[in-house]
Amino acid sequence: MKMKIEEAKAGGFLSPQGNGGYYRFAAPCTFYGTPLPREAEGEDKQKKKPRFMNVFMCVPVAPGRSRVITAFPNNFGVWLDKIMPRWYFHIIQNAILDSDMYLLHVEERNFAAAGVDNWQKSVYVPTSSDSMVIAFRNWFRKHCKNQVDWAAPMVDQLPATPTKDKLMERYWSHVAQCRSCSAALKAMKALEVALQVATVAVVGFLAVAKGTLATSVVQKTAAVSLAIVCFAASLWLASFIQKNFYFQDYIHAYK
């Protein structure tokens, strides 16, 4: 897709897309747009066409750290929001962020090693799809002198690279502050405990009832099957909780 930069100025820039969509950087922290064509002049507005937008607000909070706020307004498929829990959408969005987070972390340090004025020496940006990256770096150099004007004086030095489980952890960075995700986590942990208790209860029932109540093969088979299902479900749920609410490694080579 052919991409170009227009209206590059202190307030940001506009990047029209080859298919009629656009993306705009509104300085200093907002990036928004849509891949769908914009309405043409004279177009019948009574016809409701699918519309959606990607909105990202990335606010630097400390050297090497930023707070990302996202929104995806649309006028179609809104019924999904009524039946799908919000936490489910959040874990999907977090997986997308994970695909970029570690690369950005490493690239930021590559920029620092090369020198912020020589950032282009540490990357290869040959296509038109890289134009927004180049435009942002040019804006950052021209209007910010390649540095963030922190509210409080601090050493503008990147912290040491933490382990991946700390860099990409989800609980403190999102779940603890999100009512939907924290409520879902609490409910899932309760369900995990209930499944484990059910497993122990069924096994205990078989041990106590041996030779008395559960004498038939059918009853024993059903009880054992129930215990296995509960145990397997608790293991799966524990893995799901860990990957979606705490930490899941992301290796690009495997994606």
pLDDT tens digits along 3-41: 788 888 999 999 988 777 899 999 999 999 998 876 655
Instruction: Tell which residue, 222, 69, 59, has the closest CA to residue 149.
Output: 59
* Percentage above 70 pLDDT, the chain: 89
Percent of the chain with pLDDT over 90: 33
Of the listed ranges 55-69, 157-171, 203-217, the least confidently predicted one is 203-217
According to the model, what pLDDT value does residue 180 have? 94
Q: Which comes out higher in pLDDT, residue 151 or 215?
A: 151
Nearest to 40 by CA among 49, 31, 30, 52: 49
Q: Does 43 score more than 80 pLDDT?
A: no
In the predicted model, what is the mean pLDDT of the chain? 84
Query: What average pLDDT does range 210-230 have in this prediction?
Result: 76
* Longest Cα separation, the chain: 84
CB-CB contact of 25 with 132 (8 Å): yes
Contact assessment for residue 99 and residue 252, using Cβ atoms and an 8 Å cutoff: yes
Q: What would the 3-class secondary structure string for 200-236 be?
A: HHHHHHHHHCCCCCCCCHHHHHHHHHHHHHHHHHHHH
Burial environment of residue 43 by CB neighbours within 10 A (0 to 12, 13 to 18, 19 or more):
exposed
- Report pLDDT for 1: 63
Q: How far is CA 112 from the centre of its chain?
A: 25
Per-residue pLDDT for 255 more than 60? no
Q: What is the pLDDT of residues 116-134, one digit of tens each?
A: 788 888 888 878 778 898 8
> Which three-class secondary structure string do you get for the chain?
CCECCEEEECCEEEEEECCCCEEEEECCCEEEEECCCCCCCCCCCCCCCCCECEEEEEEEEECCEEEEEEECCECCCCHHHHHCCHHHHHHHHHHHHHHHHHHHHHHHHHHHHHCHHHHHHHCCCCCHHHHHHHHHHHHHHHHHCCCCCCCCCCCCCCCCCCCHHHHCCCCCCCHHHCHHHHHHHHHHHHHHHHHHHHHHHHHHHHHHCCCCCCCCHHHHHHHHHHHHHHHHHHHHHHHHHHHHHCCCCCCHHHC
Assign 210 a pLDDT band (cuts: 50, 70, 90). low
- Comparing 170 with 46, which gets the higher pLDDT? 170
Residue 47: pLDDT band (50, 70, 90) is low
Domain boundaries, the chain: 6-161, 177-254
pLDDT for residue 253 is more than 60: no
pLDDT tens per residue across span 91-119:
988 888 877 888 888 888 888 888 878 88
Average pLDDT over residues 210-237: 81
Q: Give me the pLDDT at residue 149, please.
A: 79
When mean pLDDT is compared over 14-18, 123-127, 196-200, 250-254, the highest value belongs to 196-200
pLDDT, one tens digit per residue, over 130-185 is 889 889 999 999 998 888 877 776 665 788 888 888 888 899 989 999 999 999 99
Q: Is the pLDDT of residue 206 over 80?
A: no
- Measured in whole angstroms, how far is the alpha carbon of residue 118 from the centre of its chain? 30
Let me know: does 27 contact 10? Beta carbons within 8 Å.
yes
